[in-house]
A and B are shown apart, each in its own frame.
Chain A
Amino acid sequence: MEKIYNLPESLIDVSTHYCPGCGHGIVHRIICEVIDELNIRQKIIGVAPIGCAVIAYKYWDFDCCEAAHGRALAVATGIKRVRPANIVFTYQGDGDLAAIGCAETIHAANRGENLTTIFINNAIYGMTGGQMAPTTLLTQKTATTPAGRDAKLEGYPLKISELLAQLEGVAYIERTSTDSPKAVLITKKAIKEAFQNQIDGKGFSMVEVLSPCPTYWGLKPVDAVKWMREVMIKEFPLGRIK
């Protein structure tokens, strides 16, 4: 019999540190599948964030660099400018990309850096124990919004993708989800496009992936997926933004 579902060459065969039902592992795998399919593993340089995915590089079988919290796109800019022939991507959470790294994100995008960014929006800070993220929904309870996010005090869920779509340097932005096998396939297609754009020299491309954090949403993995589908996607509509 032919084996039709293999471990991607770019993915290291170890179990991850992620919680059950976490979206990070799914997206790691898709990225690896895309890298294999595009046959660019030997050219890839990944930049890992500070967040739950801080050791993403333990699961990826290609060159990687660390960045300080939020600075992934500045590090990636430094790499890509001296290594234009390599394919450079960042993998970042919502705290990393949209809070502490907001300036780095906007300016890398605005410079039209020929980079690919995979942005994991789980509406919370996972690594530090479930605090409010810029993308936390209104009324969502977190460790630092115990009564639920209140627009008067904490402002609104930050739509960084819509914001970036305004910038001329940006080639492609799409928001996808991991709430179903179909959604995962769409995510994979989007990630592939984001890498292909870099290969074609088109400029900054980003895929925002809505991803569950059952642990700090205080939900069972199945209910977390349901919440994504019924609540989160309403706040963060899926589809191509640019």
Chain B
Amino acid sequence: MIIEARGVSRSYGSTPALREANLSVAAGEVVAIMGPSGSGKSTLLHCLAGIFTPDSGEVWFDGRRLDTLDDGRRSELRRTAFGFVFQFGQLVPELTAADNVMLPLLLGRTRRKHAQRRAAEWLERLELADLGGRRTGELSGGQAQRVAIARALVTRPRVVFADEPTGALDTLTGEHVMDLLVGLAREEGATVIVVTHDARVAACADREVVVRDGRVSDPYTIGAVR
């Protein structure tokens, strides 16, 4: 298992969002987290990615406890081992596509020249070779998400976390974005955990789990399948 939640609970004030959630993901797997809105999908993703610390339970990454690391070590891990794609790319709109993709490399103190080359490479893999100089605020939704994918993969992460990456896109654009995300992550050997309520998006994954009321049910391991 590359990443695991073991009995993870998390509340916002008095609102329980996760109740002893369990999820194990093997290296190289693509897993979809589905479920109604408000069921705790994003909270689970954030706990797995070390963005939130659980109130109780454990999160393991690559054989190590993640939830007990101090803030500095956790953000270091997020920067080096994880990549993120959110519903709205969370790109810096005033920067060009290339600069956005370079950003995580520069934060990791990669030399500028090298970062530029890597960014250009990744923009090309996302079929954005011509748009590197364009400010991301001027891109279409699908183009912006492809820039976000380039930025998530440019650091060669072990795990990519995506939260509704196609939520703001139409069917065909969303499908294209998902094909690129999953296809490239597989080429890189990266694990993907994608939150989505869209069955077509989830169909790109190897398997799906369903979150209901803060609990994870895995239809392939629980007695649901006869």
Tell me, yes or no, whether A binds B.
no
Q: Which residues of B contact A (CB under 8 A)?
A: none
